Structure 1
Amino acid sequence: MTFLTKLAIAASLATALTSTAMAADLVVGFSQIGSESGWRAAETSVTKLEAEKRGIDLKFADAQQKQENQIKAIRGFIAQGVNAILVAPVVATGWEDVLSEAKEANIPVILLDRGVDAPQDLYLTSVASDQVKEGHVAGQWLVDTVKDKDCKVVELQGTVGSTPAINRKKGFEDAIAGHANISIIRSQTGDFTRAKGKEVMEGFIKAENGGKDICAVYAHNDDMAVGAIQALKDAGLKPGTSPLVVSIDGVPDIFAAMVAGEANATVELTPNMAGPALDALDAYLKNGTMPAKFIITESKLYTPADNPQGEYDSRKGLGY
């Protein structure tokens, strides 16, 4: 068998191996917000695994929670001539120029888990949860739990200007509207981080009679809730009993807190945004199929009745 024959066979085999997936030389840029939470780390891990599974060369850029770093990374991807760009935008505004540049370069952009305030024709699709619904599910859980009891709530907001912070606040407020016994007495950003959540909660405790006047803590993500739980314990309070703790994401540590009786409810946000995103990209690149502009993932409520130890164990392997 000649060298050229061997080479032809090898080429045919390589073609066969990639025929059921995207081309192995497909290059996709991924501008990630950073690693401010366990959920964010899991999203990064799952995205890398999805790209590897499909034979995609994923160019990863960590923005360290700074929009200017994301814009720089996206412009770098455009200059490299990548085939597509995934971006989890740190805030909602300020994207029109760079997204227009990507469009002019014929590079499709897919948004992951957060939206932007920009014309919809500047991105191919947005894969995210219904963030208003997430907040509403959390608020409805509190309404159903406290019933007619007077309940003063402190709120740990996400990053100022981010779509999850805006929408999760709106959904929660919509759920408790009309229930005069439930009120948000303090609300401040914890920037989606555990350390800042703890710091802000310490301030709430000092401002509210050592925390004794707080009926419930609502955190826009689990990491802030875990930080708040530590602050409450340090102050001699009993999170999970007084006050109640409800948050969003479904990361392993919030299930560990449930096992310990220190958290009451979480609304799951799947870290697998890349799977639906890359499915949509595959169809678009292969035959021009336009995906739905918004691909919505499920928002499921979990409480201590839902086997939190099992949930903790199953999620630890996802890269959290």
Structure 2
Amino acid sequence: MNIVFSKENGYDSRQTNTADVNEQMSAAMGYIRDGVDYLLISAAHASGWDDVLLAAKRAGVRVILFDRLIDTDPSNYEAALVSDMEFEGKLATDWVLANVPEPNVILIRGQLGSAAEIGRSAPLLKAAEEGKLNIVWDGTGGDTWSLEEARRVVEAAIAAGKDFNVIYAQNDGMAQGACQALEAAGISFGKDGKVKIIGFDFNRFALRNVQAGYWNADVQCNPRMANQIHEWIQSGNIAEGIVYQEEIIVDTDTITDEIIEKYGINPDPGKGVITR
């Protein structure tokens, strides 16, 4: 965001980076009072934004949502360029049902109430309700999607004697924490192991883990939205309503160097490098 919305590109921009939704809302109200032209929001929590959005509307501030949707009337924002979190969850759930006989799943959610958590959980919960899989343990990495909290979720499931063969971790960092707990307990996982590992977000370290067979699958979440929003603003032709990014899942059979280079995010540890 900072690179695209820079002075060199003609912007006077400010940015607030926090996973605390109250801090986000307070910052947004401040920007509205300051008279900004555009307010770009990637909400930590999907609900509770109506006062902010209505204040922006009254002030003539054009609101664009990115990455995550907000639970509000669509008339309260101009456009939304987002990841389809429920589609991501369906990709992962379908993979589990197609590749794991009698799935017994540990679900590690992200920040409860966030669009990502709600969307990625829904298809798995639906499959459980339909009797297609069992969720034997349901935890969360907390508001920061914490590796450490995810590790404790799996440690607790192991201590409780739960029998499981799938880790469904709603981001790559939490999948990493889950694997740390499995390794410490001497439980095999990955391509040739008992427990299948699924992460989300397409971090390059995660994709290399899939390529090495250390994990089984990873689901893309495309956060590279700044350039598209920049084009909308510069052209004055902002899309109306919700625009979804296209996303995919890869596993040990489909992962390639080309996919990692083209679609991966954040630094690449290198082929053959496992990130534990």
TM-score, normalization by structure 2: 0.87
The one of 159, 165, 170 aligned to 2:117: 165
| Percent identity over paired residues | 27
> Residues 206 and 132 of structure 1: is their aligned pair in 2 closer, same or farther, counting only changes over 3 Å?
same
Matched, 1:186 2:186: no
The alpha-carbon deviation at position 176 of structure 1 amounts to 6.0
Tell me how far apart the structure 2 counterparts of residues 317 and 197 of structure 1 sit (CA, whole Å).
21
Counterpart of 1:35 in structure 2 is: none
Tell me how far apart the structure 2 counterparts of residues 143 and 155 of structure 1 sit (CA, whole Å).
15
Preserved contact between residue 140 and residue 175 of structure 1 (Cα < 8 Å): no
Preserved contact between residue 126 and residue 293 of structure 1 (Cα < 8 Å): yes
The one of 157, 162, 165 aligned to 1:204: 157
Counterpart of 1:298 in structure 2 is: 246
Tell me how far apart the structure 2 counterparts of residues 139 and 317 of structure 1 sit (CA, whole Å).
23
Counterpart of 2:271 in structure 1 is: none
Alignment of 1:72-221 (within 5 A): 72-146=26-100, 149-174=101-126, 178=130, 180=132, 182-191=133-142, 192-209=145-162, 213-221=163-171
Preserved contact between residue 67 and residue 89 of structure 1 (Cα < 8 Å): yes
Counterpart of 1:264 in structure 2 is: 216
> What stretches of structure 2 of length at least 5 have no aligned partner?
269-276
Preserved contact between residue 84 and residue 107 of structure 1 (Cα < 8 Å): yes
Preserved contact between residue 137 and residue 172 of structure 1 (Cα < 8 Å): no
User: Which protein shows a greater Rg?
Assistant: 1
Preserved contact between residue 134 and residue 171 of structure 1 (Cα < 8 Å): no
Tell me how far apart the structure 2 counterparts of residues 257 and 55 of structure 1 sit (CA, whole Å).
40
Tell me how far apart the structure 1 counterparts of residues 152 and 216 of structure 2 sit (CA, whole Å).
21
The alpha-carbon deviation at position 206 of structure 1 amounts to 1.4
The alpha-carbon deviation at position 71 of structure 1 amounts to 1.2
> Superposition RMSD on alpha carbons, in Å?
2.2
Tell me how far apart the structure 1 counterparts of residues 181 and 83 of structure 2 sit (CA, whole Å).
29
The alpha-carbon deviation at position 179 of structure 1 amounts to 5.3
Give the number of the structure whose residues are more often helix, by fraction.
1
Q: Secondary structure at the match of 1:196?
A: helix
Tell me how far apart the structure 2 counterparts of residues 56 and 175 of structure 1 sit (CA, whole Å).
46
Tell me how far apart the structure 2 counterparts of residues 108 and 50 of structure 1 sit (CA, whole Å).
18
Alignment of 1:241-252 (within 5 A): 241-252=193-204
Structure 1 segments of 4 or more deviating over 4 A?
Answer: 175-179, 308-320
Counterpart of 1:238 in structure 2 is: 188
Tell me how far apart the structure 2 counterparts of residues 197 and 218 of structure 1 sit (CA, whole Å).
11
Preserved contact between residue 95 and residue 118 of structure 1 (Cα < 8 Å): yes
Q: Secondary structure at the match of 1:70?
A: helix
Q: Secondary structure at the match of 1:76?
A: helix
Tell me how far apart the structure 1 counterparts of residues 207 and 238 of structure 2 sit (CA, whole Å).
38
> Residues 251 and 206 of structure 1: is their aligned pair in 2 closer, same or farther, counting only changes over 3 Å?
same
> Residues 187 and 243 of structure 1: is their aligned pair in 2 closer, same or farther, counting only changes over 3 Å?
same
Preserved contact between residue 229 and residue 262 of structure 1 (Cα < 8 Å): no
Counterpart of 1:225 in structure 2 is: 175
Letter in 2 for 1:68: N
Tell me how far apart the structure 2 counterparts of residues 106 and 189 of structure 1 sit (CA, whole Å).
38
The alpha-carbon deviation at position 229 of structure 1 amounts to 1.0
Tell me how far apart the structure 1 counterparts of residues 30 and 4 of structure 2 sit (CA, whole Å).
22
> What stretches of structure 1 of length at least 5 have no aligned partner?
1-46
The alpha-carbon deviation at position 227 of structure 1 amounts to 1.0
Letter in 2 for 1:126: A
The alpha-carbon deviation at position 309 of structure 1 amounts to 5.3
The alpha-carbon deviation at position 171 of structure 1 amounts to 2.1
Counterpart of 1:274 in structure 2 is: 226
Letter in 2 for 1:98: V
Aligned length: 263
Q: Secondary structure at the match of 2:224?
A: coil
Tell me how far apart the structure 2 counterparts of residues 167 and 249 of structure 1 sit (CA, whole Å).
14
Counterpart of 1:33 in structure 2 is: none
Tell me how far apart the structure 2 counterparts of residues 214 and 120 of structure 1 sit (CA, whole Å).
41
Preserved contact between residue 108 and residue 139 of structure 2 (Cα < 8 Å): yes
